[in-house]
Amino acid sequence: MATDMHPQTTPEVGGMGHSVKRKEDPRFIRGKGEYIEDVNLPGQLWLDIVRSPYAHATIKSIDSSEALKVPGVLAVITGKDLEGYKLHWMPTLAGDMQMVLPTDTVMYQSQEVAAVIATDRYAAADGVAAVLVDYEPLPVVVDPFKALESGAPVLRPDRGEDKQTNHIWHWESGDKAAADAALADAEVRIAEDIYIPRIHVASIETCGCVADWDPVRQHLDLHITSQAPHAVRTVIALVAAGAGLPIYEHNIRLKTHDIGGGFGGKVPVYPGYVLAVAASFLIGKPVKWIEDRSENLQADSFARDYHIHAEMGATRDGKITGLKVKTIADHGYSDAAADPSKFPAGLFNVITGSYDFDNAFVEVDGVYTNKPPGGVAYRCSFRVTEAVHAIERMVDILAHEIGKDPAELRMQNFIQPEQFPYTTPTGWEYDSGNYPKALRTAMELIDYDGLRREQAEKRERGELMGIGISSFTEIVGAGPSHSFDILGLKMFDSCEIRVHPTGKVLARLGVQSQGQGHETTFAQIIAEELGFPVSDIKIEEGDTDTAPYGLGTYASRSTPVAGAATAVAARKIRDKARLLAAHLLEASPDDLEWTNGKFSVKGSPDRFKTIQEIAFAAYTNHPPGMEAGLEAVDYYDPPNLTFPFGSYIAVVDIDKGTGEVKVRRFVAVDDCGNIINPMIVDGQIHGGLTMGLAPALYEEITYDELGNNLAGTFMDYLLPTAVETPAWELEKTVTPSPHHPIGAKGVGESATVGAPPAIANAEPRPASSEGRYAASPRRRSTSRRPAAAPSAATGRAARRPSAGRSSASSPTCWIARSCGTWTAGTASSSWSPATRWTAIRPSCTRR
């Protein structure tokens, strides 16, 4: 096992640590990738969707008669049609329900209202334009705080008599009494409201599918943009079973093809997929649905949208003593998060970050509004981005409050290398880390002291320059089956390896690349373990008929979970190869040693068999009593999560005249454990940093008071171009994960998580104490805190609903404290965080 960045294999083999050029690229650079829109089947029909112009309205009638006269239009499907099959609602991955098509009420602007099936895409669009829908607008609930006020329209009356409220669930973690006491006793106490804006993954490829139901074979082929094809297949089978449809799991084959970016947005099951399947089932022909960008931004799952209030206590000299966090999570009209089922707020309680203190308490309340359902874990291991932003902002605010350099304050409070494994006050066991080294490396690389001098000089001249630090700890690789599942499916993952007689290898995995380079990196793990050159190894994913079952790629889990499965499967093959080699060499297996792709007799290095010779023997000369063949499969259940970390430093210049913020330099020091492919790791960090820059300065989905989406196209939703994006400067430290078979931790999301607070913290600090802390330079005005206390129930604001920990309906967790407790929304109409916010509003105010 490589324990540092020096490769143990030759470049020709291309094992871990080599920057092997990507095996998938030759097709992409020639325009020969096969994305969902490139899939065309004989006799294929097109599906297009009628969408609501209103954020909340009653559907009085839907008139399809004119649409059905449009040449090429074959059918219009409405919610009433689906109701006959019990398909008008479907479960979300979070266990809530969302509409496939409404029968009477639309809940957000651009919600699906009807589906038009036609012979080509243009005819389908004509049909959409000809469907007449008569709406009666209803009061719109946009603000999650107003949604919790008494008298607010109840958006989900379907949830039963005891849940006639817009409060979805309450979740908490940590020790409230201890955190309260720590804050009460603190010499310094700070508080801050932080809004993590609603954003969208906006992968350049939108979502889509081609559903092909064969009524003769009773078989469904579903070509689909999915990051989790196996889980989606199971969900479809369960929904079909609930509807009494003869679509059984062994007769469902999902194929993902190439995916043009996922970032979490292609984890959920969207109504368009279900509509295409339903249409194909009804008509008996292949049906294709490809959403356009506006639909993608306006209707697909959003991310973030967390309204956080944080309080921190510390000693006068800067030692953190306690943290309390209270959060409102706006989920739109349905909780369609893809979080593990015991974690409705994801892994948000990793919020104590990189710092060593004993007392923390975090609570989150999910709320319904008239917005699209969500939220997905956008390049983030389940709300870690929100958690990291909060703790990194609080540490910076504390530094300013006590007049200490933010780097020095971090060094003072870091968990030290010798403290690992480290258990946080919310129960996570961090596997390994060296936080001071990462920050020191970043400071040296960017000349931190020199920058502070420059900043001081510029401030004298009245110029605005900011330096921001973020020292994040991630939590990825969900996850251990005792705590992690989605809809009951445990979050293991898998790899099956077949070695062919000629020494060529086929490996199939339960995860799904969306650009991460799995065809290369997983081949490198096998090359490392077995000595076959990367060029002789083919990786396949995304065909549910052939790949072993797995939960898919999101939350940086591919390398931590499926990468581990790959290494373990390869080691099973090596174990059998040892027996084969012993047979061929007429030696005892114990007398053989493994080096560089061959087994040799100890002390007789010229007596050896290469892995290729052994593979041939597995099919031509295996010993009596041994099964022929050389194959293995592993379903890996990780013993713990992994905890990548890093320190980022941003330097920004602000034009005093225009307010324009320019990121002049950005140094990112990442530690993701052992590295499989340095080139690909750098690429992942480059992309993640850009996705961290985006919400800090450019991207946000906002709504007006009528629920109109104000960022529904790329004209308004501003993805960074090459001009705004700085030339990222990268460095690494390597602290292997002690429990992962190859010591890797995963890297896909670290930069997205770590970058936003570095930019937010780079806001230049004025000399006066007035108005300092925004979530980011551009987010100054985005506080959603209502101006006045709206509820009469002030005194009960902080109280957890009565059906608390002891309730039978409240799942307990197996890792002590780490997953917290949560309760389905009850007694919540009196819950009013806004009033709490007013009461504890700190002295520092925003500009």
Partner 1 sequence: MTTQHITVTVNGEAREADVEPRLLLVHLLRETFGLTGTHVGCDTSNCGACTVHVDGRSAKSCTMLAVQADGAQITTIEGLSSGADLHALQQAFWDQHGLQCGFCTPGMIMQAAWLLEQNPEPSEGEIREGISGNLCRCTGYVNIVKAIQQAAGTLSAAESAPVVAAETTEGVA
- Helices 435-446 & 406-413 angle (0-180, nearest 10): 160
Identify residue 561 by its one-letter amino acid code.
Answer: V
Q: How many CA atoms lie within 13 A of 468 on its CB side?
A: 37
Interface with partner 1 includes 515 (CB under 8 A)? yes
Q: Where are the beta strands (DSSP E) in 512-644?
A: 537-541, 592-595, 598-601, 604-610, 631-636
Tell me, residue by residue from 71 to 110, as one string, x for binding to partner 1 by CB under 8 A and - for no binding: x---------------------------------------
Helix 678-697, helix 750-760: angle, nearest 10: 40
Q: What is the spatial distance between Cα 558 and Cα 573, in angstroms, rounded to a whole number?
A: 21
Considering only 533, 542, 743, 756, the residue that binds partner 1 (CB under 8 A) is 533
19 is a site residue for partner 1 (CB under 8 A): yes
Give the interface segment with partner 1, choosing from 303-311, 388-396, 487-495, 686-694 (CB under 8 A): 686-694
Query: Does 43 sit near partner 1 (CB under 8 A)?
Result: no
- CA separation for the pair 456, 445 (Å, rounded): 20
Closer to partner 1 at the Cβ: 15 or 271?
15
The correct pick among 26, 43, 623, 639 for binding partner 1 (CB under 8 A) is: 26
Q: Which of 4, 5, 32, 457 binds partner 1 (CB under 8 A)?
A: 32
In the complex, minimum distance from the CB of residue 725 to partner 1, in angstroms, rounded to a whole number: 5
Region of 15-23, 179-187, 564-572, 654-662 interacting with partner 1 (CB under 8 A): 15-23
Under rule CB under 8 A, residue 691 binds partner 1: yes
State yes or no: residue 516 binds partner 1 (CB under 8 A). Answer: yes
Spatial neighbors of 453 by CB under 8 A, at least 6 apart, are: none
Catalytic site positions: 227, 379-380, 749
Residue with tokens 């913020």: 661
For residue 63, state whether it binds partner 1 (rule: CB under 8 A): no
Residue range at the interface with partner 1 (CB under 8 A); choices 169-177, 408-416, 527-535, 757-765: 527-535
783 CB neighbour count, 10 Å cutoff = 15
535 binds partner 1 per the rule CB under 8 A: yes
325 vs 798: CA distance, rounded Å: 11
Closest separation between CB of residue 663 and partner 1, Å?
A: 12
The answer to whether 302 touches 374, Cβ cutoff 8 Å, is yes
Give me the helices (H) in 705-772, please: 750-760
Based on the shown chain and the rule CB under 8 A, indicate whether residue 767 belongs to the binding site for partner 1. Answer: no
540: contact with partner 1 by CB under 8 A: no
DSSP three-state, residue 418: helix
Site track 247-266 with partner 1 (rule: CB under 8 A), x = hit:
-----------xxxx-x---
| Part in contact with partner 1 (CB under 8 A); list of ranges 336-344, 361-369, 537-545, 678-686 | 678-686
Q: Taking CB under 8 A as the rule, which mask of x and - marks residues 281-300 in contact with partner 1?
A: -----------xxx------
CA dist 8 and 11 (Å) reads 9
Candidate list 22, 326, 342, 518; residue touching partner 1; CB under 8 A: 22
x/- site string to partner 1, residues 717 to 746, per CB under 8 A?
--x-xxx-x-xx------------------
Is residue 12 a contact point for partner 1 (CB under 8 A)? yes
Q: Which two tokens stand for residue 812?
A: 């307990």
The C-alpha atoms of residue 428 and residue 478 are separated, in whole angstroms, by 13
CA dist 711 and 408 (Å) reads: 40
Distances (CA, A) of 471 to 312, 730, 735, 756, 764: 17, 15, 15, 11, 19
Per CB under 8 A, the list member of 81, 143, 172, 205 interacting with partner 1 is: 205
From 3, 122, 136, 546, residue interacting with partner 1 (rule: CB under 8 A): 122
> Which of these ranges, 8-16, 211-219, 341-349, 565-573, lies near partner 1 under the rule CB under 8 A?
8-16
* Smallest distance, partner 1 to C-beta of residue 286, A: 15
Least distance (Å) between residue 31 CB and partner 1: 2
Tell me which of 3, 4, 5, 29 binds partner 1, using CB under 8 A: 29
Quickly list DSSP for 674-723. Answer: S-S-HHHHHHHHHHHHHHHHHHHHT----B-TT--BS--STTTS----TT
Q: CB within 8 A of 70, min separation 6: which ones?
A: 118, 123, 126, 127, 130
Q: Which two tokens stand for residue 138?
A: 């209803």
Chain residues in the site for partner 1 (CB under 8 A): 11-12, 14, 18-35, 37-38, 40, 71, 121-122, 201-206, 258-261, 263, 292-294, 514-517, 533-535, 679-680, 682-683, 686-691, 713-715, 719, 721-723, 725, 727-728
